Structure 1
């Protein structure tokens, strides 16, 4: 009798979950097409940005240890763009398009940027004439914490400030987040 009651309760909860899911699907905004590509393993958006966890990460020709190493990334915190997923492997590329397949354990969800402008000014406000709080040369890595349509709030070497998206790599031009 007890097993039967548990099974019936579980079936009822399952039916409630199915009905709630169906109701939720009807509540989606009309402009939400759901066409954003997602990873087959993580269901996270593709492409997306991550960073290298370690000081060395092998990028392989294919997703597995038997594949040849084409590239070695050697800077912890380096921003990378995930373009595909296969089991425990992620296809990544750097700011120059170089890349390959790396094991997911080498990657962090922490967002970082790579300064690409010859000199990037971090400003106290997201305005072209804002007070400069830090100047960073090309090749410097920083962390990104927030982005509006044109500016991002960055942290570089312990200093924080706003920088225009055009001066670094690691955020898509149309991307915004808090």
Structure 2
């Protein structure tokens, strides 16, 4: 194995170059963080919302002149906003289906959809606690507190903690009070 000795002067240049490169990464990271805000609302992008209406036309583009591709028909369904343009938001559901909807059809109230059949709602955010209820696959629940691995959800009068990996509508790294 060949090693190359670095003199004190060269070591200082390498240290300076390393610091300059690190500063460049920090500046680039700050620019990326700024780009992750919606141009209309200045809210984080992407972000989770829910469908306020019982019926919402999903359009190919951000205006009434664009063709309706399909209709969302489930009130409170969780969606993720991926783009903004004027009064329009590009959204996707858990299957990746989506398009543009008018902002008045979505709400900031957070909901999740159950992705595991007979999902146990634990009394505490721990795997070996008693179970308050079980939710069927596809149930839409209101989202409450979240820690790194668990979220408190409620549906049909039942409340409990579910693993984040078993629900859709919350980011894996999201923590909520």
Q: Aligning the two structures, in what range does the TM-score lie when normalised by the shorter sequence?
A: 0.7 to 0.9
Shift of 1:160: 1.0
**Runs of 4+ residues deviating >4 angstroms:** none
TM-score, length of structure 2 as denominator length: 0.81
Structure 1 residues without counterparts, runs of 5 or longer: 1-31
Aligned to 1:128, what secondary structure does the other structure show? coil
How many residue pairs are counted as aligned between the two chains? 148
- Equivalent-residue separation in structure 2 for 1:118 and 1:134 (angstroms): 12
Structure 2 gaps, min length 5:
1-28
Please show how residues 2-21 of structure 1 align to structure 2 within 5 Å. none
Which residue pairs with 1:46 in the alignment? 45
Q: How does 1:4-153 map to 2 (within 5 A)?
A: 33=30, 35-36=32-33, 37-153=36-152
Q: RMSD between aligned alpha carbons?
A: 1.4
1:39-74 Cα distance to aligned partner (Å, 9 max, x none): 000000000000000110111000001101112110
What's the CA shift string for 1:64-88, capped at 9, x where partnerless? 0110111211010000000000000
Cα distance in 2 for partners of 1:139, 1:62 equals 28
Which is greater in Rg? 2
Deviation at 1:35, TM superposition (A): 3.3
